[in-house]
Amino acid sequence: MHHRLSALAALRITDPEEKVATTRAAAALAALHPIASDELRGTVDETGVPGRPARPVRVAATAVPQRSPFTDEGRAALIHAICHIEFNAINLALDAVWRFGGMPEAYYRDWWRVADEEAQHFTLLHAHLQGMGFRYGDFPGHDGLWTMCEKTKDDVTARMALVPRTLEARGLDATPLIQAKLARIGTPDALAASAILDIILRDEVGHVAIGNRWYRWLCEREGLDPIGHYRLLYRRHEAPRLRPPFNLDARSRAGFTDEELGALSQAD
């Protein structure tokens, strides 16, 4: 079995529950066997990438309605938004596994682990959402993560720079702010959601670290300066502006250097 083709097969699945189950089973299998690094692009049909359900309706980030989290529906919409990010994150991890040939086996193992953990996160959040009387797809969702996947599909260095260590690193910054809001609300469902976010934040530090690890490895292989090349990629692919407050502790644990943390304010 070609374990990177099984990532492509999971990526194509549209049903969220089936995608999660297939991803987790394929990740467990891939952990037990060698993973080939051959170039698959051009040899396979990319139709149906990424697989996603008809709902949620996908809208621009600016068109997502703002709801107060002090209402039940507003909290459900907030959990749904995070659930949607995790669904997209499963797809981007699977895409990182199959799309880029010529990487060390450790790269593929890392991204299979990410795919498996994102599937766990989606499952936790979706169960919580269902406990509130809603399902994934009940609110609109925006497409920022997958849009950046599309922009970086021909450049693994850009993918590592701009998905895990830019967009996912923004999740490290945002999560404590969301948790503080949930603590202020103080209802049982809000506190339960905050506990799930503790698990997600812990795992996401590891995911961003994987992005940092492979971005640095690629820069070294290509003879590129990581900070200078990051600025070039950030502008070339029109990455979203990095806005404070930054979670410097989590970013440091995720492998950003002091120099990179200091450069955050000049990243535009």
Domains and CATH numbers, the chain: 3-266 (1.20.1260)
* Per-position DSSP letters for 58-78, written without gaps between them: EE-GGGSPP--TTSHHHHHHH
Q: What is the pLDDT along the chain (268 residues), one digit of tens a residue?
A: 588 999 999 999 999 999 999 999 999 999 999 998 988 888 888 889 999 999 998 887 777 788 899 999 999 999 999 999 999 999 999 999 999 999 999 999 999 999 999 999 999 999 999 999 999 999 999 888 889 999 999 999 999 999 999 999 999 999 999 999 999 999 999 999 999 999 999 999 999 999 999 999 999 999 999 999 999 999 999 998 888 999 999 999 999 999 999 888 665 4
Q: Report residue 6 as tokens.
A: 């099984």
> How many CB atoms are closer than 10 A to CB 32?
7
- For residue 22, the surrounding DSSP H or E stretch is helix 16-30
Residue whose C-alpha is closest to residue 13's, from 24, 158, 30, 2? 24
| pTM, rounded to two decimals | 0.96
- Vertex 206: Cα angle to 204 and 212 (nearest 5): 105
